[in-house]
A and B are shown apart, each in its own frame.
Chain A
Amino acid sequence: MQVPILKQGTYLIAVVQPDLSDRDLVDLRDALVERVGRHRSTGVIIDVTALDVMDSFASLTLSNLASMIRLRGARTVIVGIQPEIAFTMARLGLTLKGVTTALDLEEGLAYLGQSDPRSS
């Protein structure tokens, strides 16, 4: 199942679905890295609110994704990590080093320099 990628102004927003396979995640990574260049985006937001598990592969892929996006000249924010998942991740040492995280989509947009999501 493909993860939909929305274009909002100069940002790309990907909303991850609950049942996300490793394959989907890799596809998402490839698609985002490609489309950042195509749309000349300055920021990428990945919303993982619906995700109820975050394993080592997922967090490594997200980390790599953030690094790749940076090399392509944009910033990445991961938003919507649930409190329980956050603590489990911390315990497993999956701390998404070097990746910016924010509470939710609104916060992510605010971080990327757009405090009002309506203006686009």
Chain B
Amino acid sequence: MTTETNKLQPRKGSGAPSGESLRELVAHLRQNRTQLRDEWAKRITASKLMTEMTAAEIAAEATSVYDNYIEALESGTLEALEAYARSLSERIIPRGVETHEVVGIVLLLRDVLARSLINSDHGSFDRLNAILDAYEPAANRIVITVAVGFVQERERTIREQQDAIRELSTPVLQVRDRLLILPIIGVMDPQRARQLTEQLLRGIRANRAKVVVIDLTGVAAMDSNVANHLVLTVEASRLLGAKVIVTGLSPEIAQTLVNIGVDLTKMTTVGDLQGGIEEAERELGYKVVPSDDVVAAT
């Protein structure tokens, strides 16, 4: 697959020698560089593509794309264009450029160049056919290369962001020696619940935690699957030698849990996060007193 896309080969059975046609084609595109590029930039603006970018930026990118395009046609290799497509994607993806826009502008360039080839004088139709035979497959492959480069880059960005979100969604925080807090905000789905368990059990081991406070203040709803998973997590934590305190169960969740009959007798629950931390501190033998009292006592 890669070898196929990395080499530009003119269609088989074209009348004239393809090398000559390509050379003529490249010469033509070099000659009319400024005019064709401006025509292309105009078409981009007229088609309302790349609206996130300024006219000057479009002109600058258009120049480099145009030059890379001709080079790809001439050399017959796509490596340089692939690299350029990647770096271009990297630059424009954060600006919110969509796939259809990128494909659209490359197709526009293809059309502008094809039109200019047809309109210029080549002597005979056979000659023009030969040139188009050389041009079309090469141009199409360039479009594919750029589009695939863009989509791959975007998928990579999305994957990175997903990883980041996944990491962020269940932070395990140490607030005191041997005391961890897991604030949970948002919707608890089975996947997130699984992840929570994994991170919590790993966190207990890594931080040698004795008490863990899971704060559910920010969780609006919970189904029976997730609730049961939570109970299992509490049990598993106990087997690792850590006590779990669940705090901030909303009235709705409390009602749901009781109605669906989840066995919550094994869970220690405290009204809010403050209460949970106080309970955990008692458990660990900490005593928090205002500094005035300490001064008064000594």
Contacts and interface: CB of A to CB of B under 8 A. Distances in A.
A36 interface: no
Nearest to B209: A103
B237 interface: yes
Contact of A107 (B208, B232, B236): B208
Contacts of B233: 87, 90
A33 interface: no
Contacts of A5: none
A110 B201 CA distance: 21
21 contacts: A79-B241, A81-B240, A83-B201, A83-B204, A83-B205, A83-B240, A85-B239, A86-B201, A86-B237, A86-B239, A86-B240, A89-B235, A90-B232, A95-B238, A95-B239, A96-B239, A101-B238, A101-B240, A101-B241, A103-B205, A107-B241
A88 to B, nearest CB: 8
Contacts of A79: 241
Interface string B70-96: 000000000000000000000000000
B242 interface: yes
B235 A95 contact: yes
A86 B208 contact: no
Secondary structure of the A contact surface, majority rule: helix
A87 B235 CA distance: 8
Interface in A75-120: 79, 81, 83-87, 89-91, 95-96, 101-103, 107
Interface string B25-47: 00000000000000000000000
A4 to B, nearest CB: 23
A81 B239 contact: yes
Secondary structure of the B contact surface, majority rule: helix
Given A81-B239, A90-B232, A91-B232, A103 B197 contact: no
The 5 closest A-B pairs by CB, nearest first: A83-B201, A90-B235, A102-B241, A86-B236, A86-B239
Contact of B232 (A87, A96, A102, A103): A87
Contacts of B204: 83, 103
Interface residues of A, number: 16
B282 interface: no
Nearest to A99: B239
B202 interface: yes
A87 B201 contact: yes
Interface string A46-82: 0000000000000000000000000000000001010
B241 A83 contact: no
A89 B241 contact: no
A81 B242 CA distance: 12
